A and B are shown apart, each in its own frame.
Chain A
Amino acid sequence: MSETTTAVQTGALTNIGFLELEKCEFYRNPNGFLCLRYEGEEHNRVQALRSLPLTQPDAFLCIQDMENQEIGILETLTTLPEGMAELVQEELERRYYCPGITDITSIKEKMGFYYFDVSIGGFKKTFSVKDLGKSIKELRRGGILITDVDGNRYLIPDLAKITPRCARQIEPYLY
């Protein structure tokens, strides 16, 4: 593990293992996988994980090799050179893929299942949700995350930005 200490001095808890941005070199190998060259070490295929997927998706990104060993933590994406940030972002989006719901046609309750009829981009999609309390999470800034019975996730990015009709549909089911 890297011994970098770009961390702020906050009492005793300083060694978080941040990656030094200027030493990072992210690239994509010919098979389409994300790789990292760091301090001269070559990591063929790395994975990027969010520490706070719900509240701070772009901060504290944990970079691991395929054996789930942590290489280090990226404090933020914004300071990575152009191009590289996008590579990491792409990797994150694939792992945490969460299609944005653009329209809610209807939500029907039948026998304890809630059938959501929604549009995602141009596509219509029907999925069912059980156990609303656990499956519908309100995120910061008006976002809503819905997990269906199969474990797929859907996102309403901002409740204030979808049409009032949609908002009324989902409203009664929010905690």
Chain B
Amino acid sequence: MKKKGKETRGKEKEKPRQKGRLPKEVLALLEQEGLRTDTLLAAVTGDMDNTGEFCARWAAFDEQGLYFATGSETVVSKKGSKKLKTDYRLHSLETVPIGDYDELKTERYVSTGRLIGKKNGEDCSLTLFSIGFLKGFEDFCKTYNTFKSGKPLENAEQEGEERKCEKCGMPIPNGFHSCPKCADKNSTIKRLFAFFGGYKKEVAVVIVSMLIGTGISLIMPKISTQMLFDDVINKAGTEPAEKLIRTLGLLVLGLFGVRFLNTLFSAVYQYIIGGIMPRVIYDIKQKIFVAMQRLSVGFYASKQTGSIIEHVNRDANNIYWFFVDGLPYVLINSIMVIGVTGFLFSLSVKLTLLVLLLVPMIVLTLVFGGRFFRKLHHRFWIMNARVSSMASDNINGQRIIKAFSKEVDEYDRFAEVSGKLKGAELKLALTEATVFPILYLVIIILSTVLLAFGSMLVVRGEMTTGELLTYIMYVNMLQGPIDFLSWVSNWWARCVNSAQRVFEIVDSKPDVLESETPVMLEQFCGAIEISELVFEYEPARPVIKKLDLSVREGEMLGIVGKTGAGKTTIANLIARLYDAKEGSVKIDGVDVKDLSMKQLRSNVGLVSQDIYLFIGTIADNIRYAKPDANLAEVIAAAKAASAHDFIMKLPDGYDTRVGSGGQDLSGGERQRVSIARTIIQNPKILILDEATAAMDTATERNIQESLTRLKSGRTTIAIAHRLSTLRDADRLAVIDEGRVVEHGTFVELIKAKKEFFKLYKIQTEALKSVGIVE
């Protein structure tokens, strides 16, 4: 490596061209080693060397070579600030001439990945990295390969590097634009409050009545203690009893009045809050639901649907309770603290200064105690959730538990988990039983100190008895609000947290978006043309690999292939439930990505492998795609799907309620309902994904016959394992590992004696062996 460092010093202002920038400290270190960093074309950070040792690893390339550097990265906290600083060291720099590797690729393992270089057709390991760095290395490979193929490079983007928050120095998790810890907090709060935008007047009334209500309640000790003592009790004997009693009467009346006003005002704001919150929560839930409809299938595949619903509900409830039970009291308690402090000062400056000295101690005890308990609570809560999820798992699985006669083992399993819950609960209770008395002891000691000091002031004549007693009452009034305010921040954090998750759903962009200028076909014919299609559910695991396939208008294509070959995936891509990564699916010459979503969806009917029936009657389910269908159409569709006969056997016929909680249908019956559902939609393209797999051969035959009648003018794609299902197909395609390995008519494929022939032979021999010749 020649020393080039000096000449590049002046060029630091120039924007680096490479994709995935390295930290500038690392660039500086590389420069010291004599590497020109302003001409680097791409760079990437990793965390392991080629043997899998943990270290800081940087890879980069320019027009001359490929560079691998090993070093270390230690995070040190800067003195006097919360910011973290990273200290970089460079240990070695390795240079490979750019000509050595024709191509770079990544391989994905369980928790690691590997960067591999192709040298004369052979694979060479270049470096390992933790799986979290995969995306960065993939981009790096892509840029390298583009460069090697001589194509122009895309503009520099700052992707793929491990991003760190500028404020707190913490790494930003993938899938987040900004640090979830710092950045979003304010905007989330803003948006949360925006839900109340429509209720400005109500909110104003609430705040005003809170202010007044709380203000009034602040006067109470003045009347009930100070005036009572100083104006009545202490004057007993010195003034006429009648006058004192009259004053007493006034005091009692005043007290009632104050109480009454206080109750009135809190009733007012509670009434208003009670009226607003359900509506706000309704708005939030509605927003979430709308967002969930808009999201694409991929979103649901990556999360469990059950847990989304649970989360949404829990999050909405969290927000609800905080706004009903938390926020109003934050306001009230803050007013209390401020007001009480004012009164305290007016009563005695000296004592108040003492209190101000003591309060931090109480707050600290509360905060630390709270934190300690939070952990215990957390564990208790988790165990509780686990016990209930286990119980529900058990109830759902009763049939299987009984079938395997596993009741006793299940009981043991349950006993173990609930034993742990018991442990957590015990620990919590015991700790509470020991810690709380100690906490209160601290508080009692502090208030005794206060009492003693105050009494001294009374003795010296600096305060009246009434004033001291009032003072102590005020101090006691502080305890609740301080306690509340010391832990409400956690509650608040949880609420913001929930809000953030809610907004995450509300904001998530569907991966499958309608084009901005959707094409409306004048006549939807249904010719499908798939070319060079590549698709992956997870990065670096392609399921469809450069697949080409075409189906003519009105043709019936059969797709066969091993399980997991990608057949369902192809169906999903034609219906555009997912978007292709590379290549295209065209219908009537137009890419599905450009087609109007409405037209596409109403013209592509998908009978999918796993059938979902919605809660409702069978008739509702059949006319799902066409709610205005009349009953004649519904029955005709059911007949075409050979569903009519079994439906008529049900006591409630078409009115039978199905879906969760409804009548259980058999697998084949459900398939027939779902075929009817698709038939009534009358789509131009009909995709049957194992639509008849759960049926007996005779029923399948019936459906096929009616489908053949419906087939005219319709493009049909039938996916099946049973070859007999596909005997009406005009053409067949054999899929394996995401590619079409063979296609042609039934006869052609048999004659070719390849994959299809093998499949056919296996199946017919199986039939022959039991005496059936097809």
Contact = CB atoms under 8 A, between A and B. Distances in A.
Interface of A: 31-33, 45, 53, 90, 93-99, 110-113, 115, 120-121, 123-124, 126-128, 130, 132-133, 148-153, 171-175
Q: Closest 10 A-B residue pairs measured CB to CB?
A: A150-B132, A172-B375, A149-B173, A95-B109, A153-B111, A152-B132, A97-B112, A152-B130, A151-B131, A94-B52
A115 B171 CA distance: 9
Contacts of B74: 123-124
A113 B54 contact: no
Contact of A132 (B112, B114, B376, B382): B382
B54 A123 contact: yes
Which of B72, B123, B128, B500 has the largest number of chain A CB atoms within 10 A? B123
Contact of A151 (B54, B111, B383, B501): B111
Nearest to A32: B125
A94 B493 contact: no
Contacts of A153: 111, 131
B170 A175 contact: no
B171 A33 contact: no
A105 B172 CA distance: 19
A161 B180 CA distance: 34
Contacts of A173: 378-379
Contact of A98 (B111, B122, B123, B171): B111
B42 interface: no
A113 B493 CA distance: 12
Contacts of A127: 171
B54 A150 contact: no
Given A111-B180, A123-B72, A33 B123 contact: yes
Contacts of A95: 109-112
Contacts of B497: 111-112
Contact of B128 (A97, A112, A130, A133): A97
A66 B122 CA distance: 13
B112 A113 contact: no
Given A99-B54, A152-B132, A175-B383, 16 more contacts: A94-B112, A95-B110, A95-B111, A96-B110, A97-B112, A97-B128, A110-B180, A112-B501, A115-B170, A123-B73, A127-B171, A133-B382, A149-B174, A151-B132, A152-B111, A172-B379
Contacts of B379: 171-174
Contacts, number: 106
Contacts of B128: 94, 97
A31 B171 contact: no
Contacts of A132: 382
Contacts of B385: 133
B105 to A, nearest CB: 12
Nearest to A50: B110
Contact of B52 (A93, A115, A120, A126): A93
B181 A110 contact: yes
Given A130-B173, A151-B131, A175-B383, A97 B50 contact: no
B533 interface: no
Nearest to B50: A32
Given A130-B173, A149-B174, A172 B122 contact: no
Contact of B123 (A31, A113, A124, A152): A31
15 contacts: A33-B123, A45-B123, A94-B114, A95-B111, A95-B112, A96-B112, A97-B48, A97-B128, A98-B111, A120-B54, A126-B171, A130-B173, A149-B173, A150-B132, A151-B134
Contacts of A32: 50, 124-125
Interface in B14-59: 48, 50, 52, 54
B382 A152 contact: no
Given A97-B111, A175-B386, A148 B132 contact: yes
B259 interface: no
B181 A111 contact: yes
A31 B100 CA distance: 14
Interface in B282-323: none
B71 to A, nearest CB: 12
A169 to B, nearest CB: 9
Contacts of A115: 170, 181
Nearest to B122: A31
B75 interface: yes
B54 A121 contact: yes
A113 B180 contact: yes
B185 interface: yes
B110 A31 contact: no
Interface residues of B, number: 44
A132 B375 CA distance: 14
B613 interface: no
A115 B182 CA distance: 13
A46 to B, nearest CB: 13
A66 B185 CA distance: 47
B376 A128 contact: no
A121 B184 CA distance: 34
Contacts of A175: 382-383, 386
Contact of A97 (B72, B125, B130): B130
B174 A150 contact: yes
B680 interface: no
Contacts of B73: 123
B712 to A, nearest CB: 43
Contacts of A98: 111
B759 interface: no
B362 to A, nearest CB: 24
Contacts of B114: 94
Contacts of B543: none
Contact of A128 (B111, B170, B184): B170
B478 interface: no
A53 B110 contact: yes
Nearest to B176: A149
Nearest to A99: B54
Contact of A112 (B50, B175, B500): B500
A126 B180 contact: no
Interface string B63-84: 0000000001111000000000
B500 A124 contact: no
A27 to B, nearest CB: 15
B131 A152 contact: yes
Given A31-B124, A97-B130, A126-B75, A111 B185 contact: yes
A23 B134 CA distance: 36
B391 to A, nearest CB: 16
A93 B112 CA distance: 10
Interface in B147-204: 170-171, 173-175, 180-181, 184-185
B496 interface: yes
Contact of B173 (A31, A33, A45, A150): A150
Nearest to B378: A172
Interface in B372-429: 375-376, 378-379, 382-383, 385-386
Contacts of A120: 54
Nearest to B490: A109
B112 A128 contact: no
A133 B171 CA distance: 22
B524 to A, nearest CB: 40
A33 B180 contact: no
Contacts of B496: 111
A172 B424 CA distance: 10
B130 A126 contact: no
A149 B131 CA distance: 11
Contacts of A121: 54
Interface in B740-760: none
Contacts of A53: 110
Which of B110, B378, B386 has the largest number of chain A CB atoms within 10 A? B110
B373 to A, nearest CB: 10
Nearest to B53: A121
A97 B46 CA distance: 14
Nearest to A149: B173
Nearest to B73: A123
Nearest to A132: B382
A151 to B, nearest CB: 4
Contacts of A150: 130-132, 173-174
